[in-house]
Amino acid sequence: MNKKNISWTLRIVIALLFIVSAIAKISKGWISDFPFIDFSPYFAISTFEVKQLLTLGFSDTLAPYFSRILIGIEFALGFLMLSNHFLKRITIPATVGLLSVFIIHLSYVTFLSGGNSGNCGCFGELIPMTPIEAIIKNIIAVGLLIWLWKILENDQKSNFWILTTLTLGCILGLFMLAPMKASTTSSSVSNENIDTLNNPDSVFVTTDLNLSTDLLNKSKDSSKTKTEKVIEEVKKDVGPKQAVSGYAEFYADIDKGQKILCFFVPGCEHCREAAKDLNALQKKYKNFPQVQIVFMDEEPEKIPDFFKYAGKQFPYKVIDVVQFWTKLGTGKDTPGVVYLHNGNVIKFFDGIAEKAFNSKALEKVIYKK
């Protein structure tokens, strides 16, 4: 194989590497696993910002700009690798420089984390890669670029406008494809059955000690039970000391008594299963904690179908993608189910791996089974 064929092979391989990497960052992953890609630019880019950029110290203001510029540059470098304009003088050195920055960053992240876990985000959720795998991939790519630079002849074409126009076009295209949105929160509340107590002697107990339904019924049915004795009995099982969970911006009463707060995506099958299991628990226990949902603003039109599958409509709010991931927490994934008692996080289920939601585990924590 002559140098010309080798150089074109290397150029195509590297171009595909950057183009696929950019495409992966604007997609949610595979549809039915393979071979169709589920494109959702705003969702994917916002997820990339929260899981990758914000953890590096980028501000909420800077991250949306940086993410779109970075992905636009990846697209541009992929296309420019197939162009003969300033290929040896600008495109290859710029590509080597960008990959070198990635290698340094991934090495630093791996050193700080003390391991090789998680997804580096190089190919988004499309092709998960650990930091070590990404470092090896980038080192190989740098080696191929150096080889390409050595076998190439000096640039025969040098139209600088092609470089600038293509690069700016790719960057602006990203801003048009995934316009930045202002953080918004919408809500809807279902007609849930709320237990109330009409006994005047029990008003203080209900407000400050958050009695369970069983105990309230007990206090009403027994004519010999005095308010003081009820309070004393309740104090034995009021749960941990009052705390602030940080979720009151979604539900004002979230830190009062026992609550279940869920972080769901309307189109997520695992989230739907979790909601269905929670509905089953509410049917099983009359005093089961109130379930409240925070939905990601991704395919909100699927919310009616979500509740139809779950068998019940819970109180819910819809928030922006970035705000959703931020509140869910670094390193956590959907479905997220949080069991709170007096604002204290007692149990936090997330994702579909070892920390995945389990109705039996939740039941055991709540009822000490």
Residue 119 has what pLDDT?
64
Residue 183 has what pLDDT?
56
Q: Is the pLDDT of residue 101 over 50?
A: yes
Residue 353 has what pLDDT?
85
Residue 196 has what pLDDT?
31
Question: Dihedral sign, CA of 17, 95, 322, 355?
Answer: positive
Give the span between the Cα atoms of 232 and 329, in whole angstroms: 38
280-305 confidence digits (pLDDT tens): 999 999 999 999 999 999 889 999 99
Amino acid at the residue 15: A
Question: Dihedral sign, CA of 280, 362, 288, 222?
Answer: positive
Q: Is the pLDDT of residue 356 over 70?
A: yes
Looking at 33-47, 301-315, 350-364, which range is the least confident one?
33-47
Q: Is the pLDDT of residue 91 over 80?
A: yes
Q: Is the pLDDT of residue 269 over 80?
A: yes
Give the span between the Cα atoms of 341 and 245, in whole angstroms: 9
Share of the chain above pLDDT 90, in %: 49
220-240 confidence digits (pLDDT tens): 444 445 444 433 443 445 678
Residue 123 has what pLDDT?
72
Residue 149 has what pLDDT?
93
Residue 298 has what pLDDT?
86
Q: Is the pLDDT of residue 24 over 50?
A: yes
Question: In angstroms, how far is the first alpha carbon of the chain from the final one?
Answer: 71
Model pTM score:
0.66
Q: Which of the pair, 359 or 158, is modelled with greater confidence?
A: 359
232-264 confidence digits (pLDDT tens): 443 445 678 999 999 999 999 999 999 999 999
130-139 mean pLDDT: 87
Residue 232 has what pLDDT?
41
Q: Which of the pair, 310 or 156, is modelled with greater confidence?
A: 310
Give the span between the Cα atoms of 338 and 168, in whole angstroms: 44
330 CB-contact burial (10 Å; exposed 0-12 / middle 13-18 / buried 19+): exposed
355 φ, ψ (degrees, to nearest 5): -100, 15
Beta-ladder partners of 261: 292, 338
Q: Is the pLDDT of residue 307 over 60?
A: yes
Give the span between the Cα atoms of 87 and 216, in whole angstroms: 78
- At 195, list the tokens: 């237990």
Amino acid at the residue 67: S
- At 22, list the tokens: 């950019």
Q: Which of 170, 193, 350 is nearest to 274 (CA)?
A: 350
- CA 162 vs. chain centroid, Å, equals 37
- At 179, list the tokens: 């316009």
Residue 226 has what pLDDT?
44
Give the span between the Cα atoms of 187 and 64, in whole angstroms: 25
Compute, in degrees rounded to 10, the torsion defined by CA atoms 362, 358, 280, 215.
0
Q: Which of the pair, 158 or 124, is modelled with greater confidence?
A: 158
Residue 122 has what pLDDT?
75
Q: Which of the pair, 139 or 153, is modelled with greater confidence?
A: 139
Q: Is the pLDDT of residue 201 over 50?
A: no
What value does the mean pLDDT of the chain take?
Answer: 81
Looking at 59-68, 154-163, 341-350, which range is the least confident one?
154-163
Q: Which residues of 34-46 are buried (b: 16+ CB within 10 A; e: fewer)?
A: eeeeeebbbbbbb
Looking at 67-76, 157-166, 189-198, which range is the least confident one?
189-198
Residue 276 has what pLDDT?
96
Residue 281 has what pLDDT?
94
Residue 346 has what pLDDT?
94
Element (H, E) at 163: helix 160-177
Q: Which of the pair, 276 or 37, is modelled with greater confidence?
A: 276
181-209 mean pLDDT: 42
